[in-house]
Amino acid sequence: MPVAPEPQGEDLAAWSSALRAQFPIVAGNPGLAYLDSAATAQKPQAVLDVVQEYLTTSNANAGRGTYPWANRTTSLIEETRGRVKAFLDDPDPDTSTVHFVSGTTEGLRRVALDWLVRELREGDEIIVPFADHEANASPWLEAVGALARQGTRVTVLEMPYQSASRDYDTERLAELVSPRTRFVAVTHVHHVYGADMNVHRVRRAVGDDVVLCMDAAQSVGHLPVSMTALDVDFAVFSGHKALALPGSGVVWSRGKRGAAFAPLGWSGTPNTVGIASLGAALDWLDRAGPERIERWTVRLAARLTDGLRTLAPYEVLGCQLSLAEQSSVQQRHGIVTFRHRDIDAADLGFILFSHGFMVRADGLCQGRGGETRSSVRVSLHAYSSREEVDRLLEVLAGLA
Ligand code: PMP
């Protein structure tokens, strides 16, 4: 949680600019603007230093060997488990578990194939958010397919959404839930609309007994994420989106409803250096303050959205009314996705890169219930600057 008093107003810009200097790839490329942090985040020097230090002083395998480097590596992994629990504001770290996986996609698949398949019984129902990321849809269908091959029938119901805001429709969800509902998959922050999906309302709608699995890929590292505040049973995220190295994801599980999560089978050598980088990234994020990162990225996203609204050919996707720092409707985060009426999204992506902007421009890995046309996504982080947003708006205005 934030350690220093929060700067207000312009100070937040100075704070971001000081942080920006800590990201060598960002500071070293002043002519380029990296606006694709929802795809993967850049790494601060502190994380790179820990990687270098680990590999040059202690690199060994974990849980094997009795010499100091091996022992240090084993402890590092245990300490990082504790670090993850603290970062997630875990209310009961003695009973929860943290398993390291390669990322959100693998983590959700492990929950599906190693946990859900064992928990579900004939006639059970699960609810799947098909308009979220594909990684939070296909694993649940895979699990149901595996059960069907064993002769166990499980029904998959589609998560209902509100048509205007694209938030979950918790009234219709409450009507869908029955005593057979065992499991609901949800997303914390939507990767296309940047919207907080109000998971606390989902818990209220489904009652106390249903297991909730939360895809936290777009929230951890971007805003405070509290397992004390959110009564979910699983939280899964990718280290690489939270400033750590790729291959360092997490499955956190509360272990309150049903068996605690444990991956099936023999686990080989863990991604030791990735896990070391994750610990360093969480330390960096704690020092920077997830709450400040949230306020800064929301402010930049609002600036970009406000600018786009004045340019006729652009359509910003998702609920616009809610993009305000203290919105009680549906809080939006540092992701702005849009289309140009006449320019294809892929072409717009190339045009923007010719001006130095790196953005995502394609179908954005949506599940089958999501957007059917490509779009351009701008996603921000602590190191993103107001100048980048303003320059982008200038270029977009030139195409209007
Ligand atoms: N879920 C969401 C919401 C995402 O944004 C992403 C990454 N785009 C994923 C899952 C998959 O993450 P990864 O590729 O790191 O496994």
Q: Where in the chain is the domain with CATH 3.90.1150.10?
A: 12-43+289-398
Residue-by-residue pLDDT tens, the chain, 400 positions: 333 444 455 489 999 999 999 999 999 999 999 999 999 999 999 999 999 999 999 999 998 888 999 999 999 999 999 999 999 999 999 999 999 999 999 999 999 999 999 999 999 999 999 999 999 999 999 999 999 999 999 999 999 999 888 899 999 999 999 999 999 999 999 999 999 999 999 999 999 999 999 999 999 999 999 999 999 999 999 999 999 999 999 999 998 887 788 888 888 899 999 999 999 999 999 999 999 999 999 999 999 998 998 999 999 998 665 555 455 555 889 999 999 999 999 999 999 999 999 999 988 787 888 888 899 999 999 999 999 999 999 999 999 8
Report the pLDDT value the prediction gives residue 318, as an integer from 0 to 100: 85
| Interatomic CA distance for residues 133 and 234, integer angstroms | 17
Ligand 1, atom nearest to 102 Cα:
16
CA distance 146 to 113: 8
Pocket test of ligand 1: the residue of 130, 159, 191 to mutate, having most ligand atoms within 8 Å of its CB, is 191
pLDDT of residue 1: 30
The 3 state secondary structure assigned to 334-377 is: CEEEEEECCCCHHHHHHHHHHCCEECEEECCCECCCCCCCCEEE
CATH code for 49-287? Answer: 3.40.640.10
pLDDT, position 365: 81
* Spatial separation of the C-alpha atoms in residues 53 and 50, rounded to whole Å: 5
Residues of the chain with CATH 3.40.640.10: 49-287
User: Architecture of 12-43+289-398 per CATH?
Assistant: Alpha-Beta Complex (3.90)
pLDDT at 6: 45
Pocket around ligand 1 at a 6 A CB cut-off: 38, 103-105, 133, 135-136, 187, 191, 215, 217-218, 238, 365
- Which pLDDT score is estimated for 60? 95
Tokens, residue 208: 């106390």
What separation in Å is there between the alpha carbon of 163 and the centre of ligand 1? 23
Strands lying side by side in the sheet with 125-128: 97-101, 249-253, 234-237, 211-215, 181-187, 125-128, 155-158
> 């009507």: which residue's tokens?
175
- Output b/e per residue, 87-98; b: 16+ Cβ within 10 A: bbebeeeeebbb
SS3 185: strand
Tell me what pLDDT residue 323 has. 56
- pLDDT value at position 329? 53
Q: What global pTM score does this model have?
A: 0.95
Q: Distance (Å, rounded) from C-alpha 47 to C-alpha 41?
A: 12
Q: Which region holds residue 151: left if phi is over 0, alpha if psi is between -120 and 50, else beta?
A: left
Residue nearest to atom 6 of ligand 1 (CA): 217
User: What is residue 247's predicted lDDT score, i.e. its pLDDT?
Assistant: 97
pLDDT number for residue 320:
62
* CA 199 – CA 212 distance, rounded (Å): 9
Ligand 1 center to 157 CA (angstroms): 22
Helix, coil or strand: residue 379: strand
